[in-house]
Structure 1
Amino acid sequence: MENNLKTEFEELLKKASDNAINTDFIQVLVERFPRKVTFSTSFSYEDQIVTHLIKNLDVDIFTLDTGRLFEQTYETWTASRAFFKKEIKAYYPDTEEIREFVSQNGPDSFYQSVEQRKACCTIRKVHPLKKALQGYKVWITGLRSEHSTNRQNMPQLEWDEDHQIIKFHPLLHWTTKQVLEYVQAYHLPYNYLHKKGFVSIGCEPCTRAIKEGEDFRAGRWWWEDANKKECGLHIHK
């Protein structure tokens, strides 16, 4: 049967003005696609805000456990379950894929080349993501345009051709000031690495704190060219 989801997306886009596409638009998506909306969290400031926005809505939540996350990320995960009282489903990389990759290339081969690093990201993130999105029609994220030059022209509501899903970024145009004020106002649990200069927090071997004046993404895959710093979860062609 032909998938008409892209047609539904185009209809949504026509009806939604720029003013209508804000955080309240999540409710519109939930009503239009009942039990078919999911949100991916990595427990960043932004993701905690989105979790707070959807805590009383019919939106599922999942996270990708790569097996190489910071201990502080797991602590935030535990605190989030207690605070929001919502189930957070975990997805993991395939054991055989990891075994083969590490056996052939070593545990830290991602430092050797962009290709090796992307291969690691594909196994630990991209493949589990495909499993996590199966059966859903809408994928909500906590992406913000300030975090990457690749996201400056990203639409807030978009069609993800690779995953054949509608994608919504409710906080895309929020400033860092707005994010911090919201987290403080609602006393949301957060990853304490944020207070130590970690802006974008991923796997422990691939993340460092940034220095004053550095770009937001400088702490991710810092040994690579800045224009190549995406892991494959959010692709824009």
Structure 2
Amino acid sequence: MTVSPITAAEELDARLAALDLPARLALIASLPGRAVFTTSLGIEDQVITAAIGTDQLDIDVATLETGRLFPETLALIDETETRYGLTIRRFHPQVADVEAYAAQYGLNGFYESVEARHACCDVRKLKPLKRALEGAAVWITGLRRGQSGNRATIPFAEYDEARGLLKVNPLADWEIEAIRAHVADEAIPVNPLHARGYPSIGCEPCTRAIRPGEPERAGRWWWEDDVKRECGLHVPEAATAIVSQSA
């Protein structure tokens, strides 16, 4: 009897909940098909990349090089590759798409409307993500429940119906304090912007440092009012969520 993708995700979710991070990633790497980890080089993603590199797991590592990243982020890509002996594949937006966006909205038109901002994210993130995940059976992310209210119930594993693959979030239950302690213990290289008040780092024009008491992702698309704002990479509508029974 063939198991449905949703049932398979439910079963994997329960298995991952009982494991520590190295065991979670080892299990993910053993799943059938190609596994891809997409990293934004944030502190959570650096924890996962370090584990992949240290244990030499059969997981491809990719990043969306949007063309608008901070210099510190770009430098960290090179540092991380050297430190862990792996290659982080860079996926860039298509020049024609960027030019078409600029012609319609202006290069920085994303400040003017949510529609324009979503269009920019589509060009610089969603389309490159599609290319990064081509042929993949498993997509690994650094999403955590503590990052925002919009992510408070993310599971360890879910079936992403829109993309037709298994999406896994091995750090779903990690708190930021545990992330920071692990980074310190393992001397994992992280973006220096974190120490300057940027807990969540995206494109330079769209990210600011947060103020005391603000949520972790308050500095992302800070001019918009919607507290649940996202770029579209990780929206609830894009996946059939399987909430862990152990959460």
RMSD (CA atoms): 1.7
Deviations 1:172-218 (A, max 9, x none): 11111100011111111110000000011000000000011111111
Residue 11 of structure 1 deviates from its aligned partner by 2.9
Alignment counterpart, residue 35 of structure 2, candidates 34, 37, 41: 37
AA partner of residue 14 (structure 1): E
Residue 83 of structure 1 deviates from its aligned partner by 0.6
Q: Which residue of structure 2 aligns with residue 11 of structure 1?
A: 8
For the pair 1:67 / 2:64, whether they are aligned, the reply is no
Residue 54 of structure 1 deviates from its aligned partner by 1.4
Measure, in 1, the Cα distance between the counterparts of 2:92 and 2:115. Answer: 21
Measure, in 2, the Cα distance between the counterparts of 1:175 and 1:20. Answer: 17
Task: Report SS of the residue matched to 1:199.
Answer: coil
Query: What is the aligned-residue identity percentage?
Result: 41
Deviations 1:21-73 (A, max 9, x none): 55222222222225x11100111110110011211100000000000000000
Measure, in 1, the Cα distance between the counterparts of 2:184 and 2:195. Answer: 13
Q: Which runs of 4+ in 1 moved over 4 A?
A: none
Q: Does the C-alpha gap of structure 1 residues 66 and 12 become closer, same or farther in structure 2, counting only changes over 3 Å?
A: closer
AA partner of residue 96 (structure 2): E
Contact persistence 1:61–1:89 (CA under 8 A): yes
Contact persistence 1:91–1:132 (CA under 8 A): yes
Q: Does the C-alpha gap of structure 1 residues 12 and 69 become closer, same or farther in structure 2, counting only changes over 3 Å?
A: closer
Contact persistence 1:70–1:203 (CA under 8 A): yes
Structure 1 stretches lacking a partner, 5+ long: none
Q: Which residue of structure 2 aligns with residue 54 of structure 1?
A: 52
Contact persistence 1:21–1:156 (CA under 8 A): no
Measure, in 1, the Cα distance between the counterparts of 2:230 and 2:8. Answer: 30
Measure, in 2, the Cα distance between the counterparts of 1:105 and 1:124. Answer: 14
AA partner of residue 235 (structure 2): I
Q: Which residue of structure 2 aligns with residue 169 of structure 1?
A: 169
Contact persistence 2:141–2:167 (CA under 8 A): yes
Which deviates the most, 123-132 or 21-30?
21-30
- Equivalenced residue count is 232
Measure, in 2, the Cα distance between the counterparts of 1:25 and 1:9. Answer: 19
AA partner of residue 91 (structure 2): Y
TM-score, normalising length: structure 2: 0.89
Task: Report SS of the residue matched to 1:172.
Answer: coil
Q: Which residue of structure 2 aligns with residue 127 of structure 1?
A: 127
Contact persistence 2:150–2:228 (CA under 8 A): no
Deviations 1:107-128 (A, max 9, x none): 1100001111001001100011
Measure, in 2, the Cα distance between the counterparts of 1:49 and 1:117. Answer: 29
Residue 160 of structure 1 deviates from its aligned partner by 0.8
Measure, in 1, the Cα distance between the counterparts of 2:16 and 2:45. Answer: 22
AA partner of residue 176 (structure 1): I
Residue 13 of structure 1 deviates from its aligned partner by 2.5
Measure, in 2, the Cα distance between the counterparts of 1:143 and 1:18. Answer: 15
Measure, in 1, the Cα distance between the counterparts of 2:5 and 2:104. Answer: 44
For the pair 1:214 / 2:214, whether they are aligned, the reply is yes
AA partner of residue 64 (structure 2): L
Residue 104 of structure 1 deviates from its aligned partner by 2.2
AA partner of residue 109 (structure 1): G
Q: Which residue of structure 1 aligns with residue 136 of structure 2?
A: 136
AA partner of residue 30 (structure 2): E
